[in-house]
Amino acid sequence: IEKGKVGGTCLHNGCIPTKALLHAGEIADQAREAGQFGVKATFEGIDIEAVHKYKDEVISGLYKGLQGLIASRKVHYIEGEGKLSSPTSVDVNGQRIQGRHVLLATGSVPKSLPGLEIDGNRIISSDHAL
């Protein structure tokens, strides 16, 4: 049972998109510095729309791969919010799911500091940064 897309913050808003954007920046730096290594290259700038398209394609590819892995392992995946109803069952989307074991992976939620509430403009979380 997953509240959002499988892969969570790391895949969709955190680690993976950050690494994709950093990689694009590193490529730009390498093009800018290529002459130091005897490589003739010109750096004409950054096409931010193309960079974001690249980032989105990385996320999409990994997301599809994760979905395929889940399906191949015969994991029963349900998108929604669950509530424990017993030590071996969870209620989600109006149905009760039974199992021998229940594993809780609660994920994370950005936390504001008193007086410094996340507003998405001046104070942002990983959900806003990328």
**Ordered DSSP codes for the chain:** -BSSSTTHHHHHTSHHHHHHHHHHHHHHHHHHHGGGGT---------HHHHHHHHHHHHHHHHHHHHHHHHHTT----BS-EEEEETTEEEETTEEEE-S-----------PBTTB---SSSS--HHHH-
Q: How far apart are CA 42 and CA 4, in angstroms?
A: 42
Q: Does residue 106 or residue 86 have the better pLDDT? A: 86
22-31 burial, b if ≥16 CB within 10 A, otherwise e? eebeeeeeee
Angle between helices 48-72 and 15-33 (to 10 degrees): 140
pLDDT above 90 (res 77) = no
Report whether 108 contacts 9 (CB < 8 A). Answer: yes
pTM over 0.95: no
- The pLDDT tens digits for 95-114 are 999 989 888 878 778 889 99
The pLDDT of residue 130? 76
Pinpoint the residues of the chain covered by CATH 1.10.287.990: 1-78
To the nearest whole number, what is the mean pLDDT of the chain? 92
- Which CATH entry fits the domain spanning 1-78: 3.40.50.1380, 1.10.287.990, 3.40.720.10, 1.10.1740.10? 1.10.287.990
Give the percent of the chain with pLDDT over 70.
100
The pLDDT of residue 3? 85
The pLDDT of residue 105? 79
